[in-house]
Structure 1
Amino acid sequence: MKQAHAGAQAISRRSFLRLAGLGGAIYVSGLSGWSSAAAPPGGANEDFFFIQLSDTHWGFEGAPNPDAHGTLQKAVAAVNSLEQVPDFIVFTGDLTHTTDDPQERRQRLREFKDIAAGLKVKNVHFMPGEHDASLDHGEAYQEFFGKTHYSFAHKGVNFIVIDNVSDPTGAIGETQLAWLADELRQLPPQARIVVFTHRPLFDLYPQWDWATRDGAKAVELLQAHANVTVFYGHIHQEHHHMTGHIAHHAAKSLIFPLPAPGSQPKRTPLPWDDAYPYRGLGYRQVAAEAAKPMDYQLTELPVLKG
């Protein structure tokens, strides 16, 4: 299991290359220009880290994951075994696998919530994926987890959760965009902002539904702020992209990996490898530095310890 460390100084390009040469996977997204004099509300400017889990698809059965009923529990155990306790945990959507049966949908959400309750860290944030919410506009999801979009602050960082899945067309919608604009108006231009969403806000590969229909409007609103980073799921693989100065980072899935965008004719899951079980599955540890310029250090960790 790899470790991520938040130090007092930003990691240099030379240090990054040394770490990468050791076989690690450590990614750094620099956020420059933040001033402690303009720190937003929400706590002191302290280093911290959180865990991102995504695309658990509870209720999925069959190939390519023969351990579909056990992988989520193994991920919970892996997170619980971390020596350093994270400040919080966030699930970036597709908590459950889609079903046309409203009763079965609620049963899966209930079972997922019960398993997630086994996390030692009780500060856990949830958001829906299209598998949870698109068939009923998030009605069942809200019965178990509350609002589908919201904001919170932690140690001087402003976190914004955007729902781009409850609308079955894959849009954020004008009402939520107006809410986002109002949230951002309350923050100074140098505020430190982290956005969580399920689908990518940019057009990664629309042919595979890897986009948000009006995501460009959200990105345009966010561009007015200097320090913005987006974490998302949906594509079941690690991916990094820039829209101007905004860094977008995708997380691996906890059920099955998907191919690189456009690398094969169809968006079919990658096969299970008996020689390397759980390959391509994992979760992410994100360490946040309060140093100037502010950095996020990302480390992808496997479901099972190596």
Structure 2
Amino acid sequence: MSNAIDRRDFLKLAGLGGVVFASGLPGFALAAGQDEFYFVQLSDCHWGFEGPPNPDAKGTLKKAITTVNALERQPDFIIFTGDLTHTTDDPAERRRRLSEFTQIASDLKVKTVRFMPGEHDSALDNSAAYREFFGATTYTFDHKGVHFIVVDNVSDAGASMGGEQLEWLAADLRQQKTDSPIVVFAHRPLFALYPQWDWATRDGARAIDLLLPYKNLTVFYGHIHQEHHHMTGHIAHHAAKSLIFPLPVAGSVPKRAPLAWDASEPYKGLGFRGVSVDTQSGQTALSEFTVVKKAQANATDKT
């Protein structure tokens, strides 16, 4: 049985409220040749992290890439939404980790791969090393009639976007119609999810005010190492799982700390997502993927 969804089915599902959570469809993808497309979001790889709770810290990213490469239908593009590497005070080590990450990511079959920084990549040097490898930390692109905006709420160690970037965002948005389909990528949440754990953007409310006039706009982010969905007015915000370790639900424990590795369910809480986009309305359908299939997760060999 094919897992592809045709345009009529997609619109039927999207009509349920603008977003479809298709976790039960591991091969979820839109049918080829339609007015829809899909991309893959990976986040929080933390390349260079070692030790508990992930005993396969050097293999998890590679396994995820193998899983993406094995998708029945390859996405139009792939985006990594920050924390490509784990933080280090050593500038040379930071560049070594970025270089290794770049080499690993080059194994993706899809050649249109986009990147953005997380605070682990950028906060200690205002993205200087990141820019050497990947260029600008803010940019836009268009794909099949959908406008994509990448914002930077991590290069500033104080977790602010800053007035200059907000002006840039406002100027870009003015070029769009209020009913244009728009997708925004950030690393931290733009809304105040849980500031006590650094799960917020200090001037994120100003960014959201700029976004609210646009009727068909969705935000995807990372940083919190878990799937999470939130609405600010009509704007949906979706956090992606991590590829290194999961974190607890906001405020559920006194201190933010990685969740323990479960040897009976390896890679539990880790994964990536596919996002299918209707080019006419900007409606999105989400499909959550595990790092590896269960049989692979239980295998003893490490890559």
Give the TM-score, by structure 1 length: 0.88
- Partner AA of 2:186 in structure 1: T
1:29 alignment partner in structure 2: none
Task: After the TM superposition, list the runs of 4 or more consecutive aligned residues in structure 1 that deviate by more than 4 angstroms.
Answer: 12-16
CA contact (8 A) 2:23 2:289 kept: no
- Structure 2 CA distance for aligned equivalents of residues 196 and 14 of structure 1: 23
Mapping of residues 1-306 of structure 1, within 5 Å? 5=5, 7-9=7-9, 10-12=11-13, 24=24, 46-290=35-279, 293-306=281-294
Q: Which runs of 5+ in 1 are unaligned?
A: 27-43
Provide the secondary structure at the position in 2 that maps to 1:11: helix
- Partner AA of 1:79 in structure 2: V
- Partner AA of 2:221 in structure 1: Y
- Structure 1 CA distance for aligned equivalents of residues 48 and 214 of structure 2: 39
CA contact (8 A) 2:23 2:288 kept: no
Q: How many residues align?
A: 284
RMSD over aligned Cα, in angstroms?
A: 2.3
**1:31-67 deviation digits (Å, cap 9, x = unpaired):** xxxxxxxxxxxxx992100000000000000000000
- Partner AA of 2:288 in structure 1: E
1:8, distance to aligned residue in structure 2 (A): 2.6
Provide the secondary structure at the position in 2 that maps to 1:179: helix
CA contact (8 A) 1:8 1:289 kept: no
CA contact (8 A) 1:4 1:286 kept: no
1:85, distance to aligned residue in structure 2 (A): 1.1
1:14, distance to aligned residue in structure 2 (A): 10
CA contact (8 A) 1:6 1:297 kept: no
- Structure 2 CA distance for aligned equivalents of residues 216 and 11 of structure 1: 33
- Structure 1 CA distance for aligned equivalents of residues 131 and 5 of structure 2: 35
CA contact (8 A) 2:218 2:235 kept: yes
Q: Which runs of 5+ in 2 are unaligned?
A: 27-32, 295-303
- Partner AA of 2:46 in structure 1: H
Relative to 1, partners in 2 of residues 1:216 and 1:45: Cα closer, same or farther, differing over 3 Å?
farther
CA contact (8 A) 2:65 2:107 kept: yes
- Structure 2 CA distance for aligned equivalents of residues 113 and 285 of structure 1: 21
